[in-house]
Structure 1
Amino acid sequence: MLSLLCLLLACSLMSAVMGARSFFQDRSELRLRPIDPGRFAEANRALQSSGKDRIVIFGDSRAHQTTVSGDTASAWQVVSRGVSGESSVQASYRFQNDVIDLRPRVVLIVTGINDAVAAANLPGMERAAVANLKANVSRFAQEAAASGAVAIVSTIVRPTTPRLIRRPFWSDRVYALIDEVNAHIRGLAADNVLILDADALLVGDKTTLPWHLATDEVHLSKEAHELLAARLDEMLRPLRPGAAH
């Protein structure tokens, strides 16, 4: 009887794991498809000039959670256009509306973690997803610069070590994919394209993001965001009107 109960429990657990894996893969595939390009339409129409230079923070949940500090908080009109769970593919459909049409002085681009996690879990789509991510980040930077704004592109912060409960639905391929894309992002540096090397700042020579700088596998802690805010403030200082160059 005990053996039978153990067998039934094992079968139930396996079924739950397989169901969760299927759900996660379906969700990963969804992230690589475009959705909701008009998400901020009403907010964009209502946005008024504050008399300050505008910075738009564009991208995914990491963009949505980005904080500002120092002179940035007082000297700039900060507009957040980050969408949790969104890939760069999805974000590309709203870049014109949520960035270019707002006529910012600076655009901070924070995207790619969702593409990388999804691609690592879908081997058949991996190379196409990485190519799309590189192309999308390049396009965001180039179109922002062409509009007269300064593009600040963040490298992708590598995830932390996954928890045991996440391990069955996790691929360590994500770290290599992010390294590849970050090399591409660093190569985008130009006169009007600056690189915020968030991965170098938070992860450095470690393999994964330290747990005290994370809230889960892919999201950053308050301390991490504070470190990035301080670095962003340094980068923006010379871009303020009247600043010495």
Structure 2
Amino acid sequence: MLIGSAAWAQSSDDVEAARKKKQEEERMNQDWACLKCFAEANSKVVPPAAGEKRVVFMGNSITIGWLNTVPEFFNGKPYINRGISGQTTPQMLIRFRPDVIDLKPSVVVILAGTNDIAGNTGYTPVETIYGNIVSMAELAKANKIRVVLSSVLPVFDYPWRPGLEPIPKIAELNAKVKAYAEKNGFVYLDYFSAMVDERKGLKAELTYDGVHPNKAGYLVMQPLAEAAIKTALSKK
């Protein structure tokens, strides 16, 4: 009886996993950039109040992970999270207007690139990833939004796509983004240096899978993000 119950539970899990996979595939076919993901939430965002210094966080699972892991970081602050798990820079670029510009922030914090390197939406060279990040920054600047460009976090290997050897690509992308930020008066938010281990991966105590921060990881990131936002707001 127990064996039968275990088998039924396993079968039920497989069915649910297959259903979710099919649902995600259908969504990707119909709404590749996930423009619908925040459409309802965006419709409820009112213009900033007088003196409000709104900040939008644009990114992937590491960005949305703030809300799941350390939600108190956002509590009582004019912060809006627009992270979508698994997203790459072309997807973010497509949704940048509705999910950032139209929300009228004073600052945007962009964290992007790791999923491109992991090949989530196919092969993308570093130069193209960089170009997409630059395009988002330039859109923000054109709309009088101050820009914080985050480094990609260190990764030794992606568990869902092992063997890609991401270390040199992450280093190249971070160097390009840092140089671009410095040249254009944007703020470079360096998570990498505070979180890297001797293998050039993410410190074991700061992650649960080698890619995504755990609570300890976000607690390292929090003061760095706050300092970067403060610096961006001080710029004219």
Task: Report the TM-score when normalising by structure 2.
Answer: 0.75
DSSP 3-state at the match of 1:53 = coil
DSSP 3-state at the match of 2:188 = strand
Please, which runs of 5 or more residues in structure 2 have no aligned partner?
1-20
Shift of 1:132: 2.1
- For 2:235 and 2:166, locate their aligned partners in 1 and report how far apart those are by CA, in whole Å: 41
Q: Does the Cα contact within 8 Å between 1:152 and 1:195 map onto a contact in 2?
A: yes
Work out which of the two has the higher radius of gyration on C-alpha atoms and give 1 or 2: 1
Letter in 1 for 2:82: R
- For 1:112 and 1:194, locate their aligned partners in 2 and report how far apart those are by CA, in whole Å: 17
Partner of 1:89: 90
Letter in 1 for 2:36: G
- For 1:111 and 1:202, locate their aligned partners in 2 and report how far apart those are by CA, in whole Å: 17
Partner of 2:105: 104
Task: Report the TM-score when normalising by structure 1.
Answer: 0.72
Shift of 1:237: 3.0
Please, which runs of 5 or more residues in structure 1 have no aligned partner?
1-22
- For 2:140 and 2:190, locate their aligned partners in 1 and report how far apart those are by CA, in whole Å: 18
DSSP 3-state at the match of 1:108 = strand
Q: How many residues align?
A: 204
Quickly say closer, same or farther: Cα 1:194–1:114, change in 2 above 3 A.
same
Letter in 2 for 1:61: S
Quickly say closer, same or farther: Cα 1:217–1:54, change in 2 above 3 A.
same
State the Cα deviation string for residues 63-95 of structure 1 (Å, max 9, x = none).
Answer: 11235878x855x41000000011111111100
Select 1:221's aligned residue among 204, 209, 214. Answer: 214
Partner of 1:133: 129
Select 1:39's aligned residue among 37, 40, 51. Answer: 37
Quickly say closer, same or farther: Cα 1:224–1:153, change in 2 above 3 A.
same
State the Cα deviation string for residues 107-140 of structure 1 (Å, max 9, x = none).
Answer: 0001111111117xx9xx64x4323211111111
Partner of 2:46: 48
DSSP 3-state at the match of 2:78 = strand
Partner of 1:185: 177
| Stretches (4+) displaced over 6 A | none
DSSP 3-state at the match of 1:151 = strand
Q: Superposition pairs for residues 9-158 of structure 1, below 5 Å?
A: 34-49=32-47, 51=49, 52-66=52-66, 74=76, 76-118=77-119, 126=123, 128-158=124-154
- Report sequence identity in percent: 24
Q: Does the Cα contact within 8 Å between 1:151 and 1:193 map onto a contact in 2?
A: yes
State the Cα deviation string for residues 194-224 of structure 1 (Å, max 9, x = none).
Answer: 1001111211665211111111131111111
